[in-house]
Structure 1
Amino acid sequence: MPLGLHNFLFVVYPYICLAVFLMGSLARFDRDQYTWKSDSSQLLRARQLRWGSNLFHIGILFLLFGHTVGLLTPHFLYAWLITAPQKQLLAIVSGGIAGLICFVGLTMLLHRRIADPRIRRTSHRTDLAILCILWVQLVLGLVTLPVSWSHRVDASAMLILADWAQGIFTFRPDAAGLLTVGWQFKVHMVLGMTIFLLFPFSRLVHVWSGFASLAYLVRPYQLVRSRRMDLSTHASAPRDGEKA
């Protein structure tokens, strides 16, 4: 890969994707709130949808949390508890299991939308496109596992990727270390950033609603009065000109 293209993809492109991801989501919520939904077709092939959706969401949420914590946590914060090779081995095993679960669920969802003519006719092209992109991304992630296993002794690949991700979020981007990383990781990273770029223009925006629903866990109690209490209070209130 030419050095100029390498620097663009891993220094400039991440900020383009993050900017579109954040500003695009805000703009869609502000302008097109009625499209802020998952467009479920749950009345058709409900059993396949239930299994596929549950497996997909369990796997993808674990992978999202694992990637976020694994890449953005500085090494010195966990060095007292676990070594870098042990962390990489944990990531390979847990990420591989979650990836397989997510892959099975997503394959079921994709098959459901393609194989059933009724669902295919009611599906938007963006629905099929984003499912296909996620499926390819999962395959690429699973492909990186054997490469990660070969680096499990020194965890060199994991440390390089973590340094790059932390540099992006601390506005100190440095893609020099990625020159030694395998092509599987690079393609996986570029496609992952592209998913963030496409996020505001797809049904994936409903993920924000899922995170926003966590606010219900800490909301204050609501005071609810019965209609009978409201009527009795209104009847007992003094009228204008009357003494209380």
Structure 2
Amino acid sequence: MSNAFDTFFFSVYPYICLSIFLLGSLARFERAQYTWKSDSSQLLRHAQLRWGSNLFHIGVLFLLFGHTVGLLTPHALYSAFITASQKQMLAIVSGGVAGTLCFVGLTMLLHRRLFDPRIRKTSRSTDIAILAVLWVQLCLGLLTLPFSYAQRADAHEMLMLADWAQRIVTLRPDASAMASVLWPFKLHLILGMTVFLLFPFTRLVHIWSGFGTLAYALRPYQLVRSRRLGPVARRNGVRRGF
């Protein structure tokens, strides 16, 4: 039973989540573009949103970047500069700080969604559900920190998780090593993949727009020329437009 559990969630489930994440996002953009937005509730109550949103976004962006670089960078690329143990300690400290900021901000956002009557009335069930899922995922991530600290000497768990992630992205899945991984890490991974599964059906799709702004900033200038009016139009009193 344990082998079947590990094989499904760490060899099959990642590709299910990634497929729905990509194809679902594309389908929503094609079929429901008017729902492609963050649905901000700033007009209803902005003070708590300002603090909560800033803390959450600062923390979550750092965590996403740190997880991506930490898991997908092969050990051979950084072993000459930093040991695995030092890297794990760096991840514990920086992840702990960013995770705490994110936890405070996300708790504020979830609190205002649940306990402000106007915001609760205008919130969809998916808005509250995805915040709750992210909150639980963040708690699981913070829960892994003591276990990581206890294993900082050889960083065996971190190297094993990195190897698993790199095998997933290179289409060489191998769940055999995950049998010895501690349960907080397993739950954190499974719920993290589930967030990608839920992504196209929630307000999280607006994250794609953030990448779109980079392309918008690099677009060429739009040339606007004045339109010359003919003699008939001038006689009729039509003004020159742009």
TM interval, short-chain normalised: over 0.9
Indicate the SS of the match to 2:39.
Answer: coil
Is the partner of 1:222 in helix, strand or coil? coil
State the 1:178 CA deviation: 1.2
What are the Cα deviations for residues 119-172 of structure 1, in whole angstroms up to 9, with x where unaligned?
101100000000000000000000000000011111111100000000000010
How much does 1:32 deviate?
0.4
1:61-80 → structure 2 map (5 Å cutoff) = 61-80=61-80
The alignment covers a number of residue pairs equal to 231
- TM-score normalised by the chain length of structure 2: 0.92
Residue 187 of structure 2 is aligned to residue 187 of structure 1: yes
Q: Which runs of 5+ in 2 are unaligned?
A: 232-242
1 CA distance for matches of 2:141 and 2:9? 18
Separation in 1, partners of 2:150, 2:218: 45
Q: Map residues 58-207 of structure 1 onto 2, 5 A cutoff.
A: 58-207=58-207
- 2:30: which partner in 1? 30
Residue 2 of structure 1 is matched in structure 2 by 2
For residues 220 and 154 of structure 1, what CA distance do their matches in structure 2 show? Answer: 51
Structure 1's unaligned 5+ residue stretches are 237-244
> What residue identity is the alignment partner of 1:71?
L
Post-superposition offset of 1:223: 2.5
Q: Identity over aligned residues, as a percent?
A: 70
Which residue in 2 is equivalent to 1:240?
A: none
Q: Taking structure 1 as the reference length, what is the TM-score of the superposition?
A: 0.92
Q: Distance in 2 between matches of 1:174 and 1:150?
A: 25
Note the alpha carbon deviations across 1:18-59, whole angstroms, 9 max, x for none: 000000000000000000001111112201011101110111
- Whole-Å separation in 1 of the counterparts to 2:229 and 2:67: 58
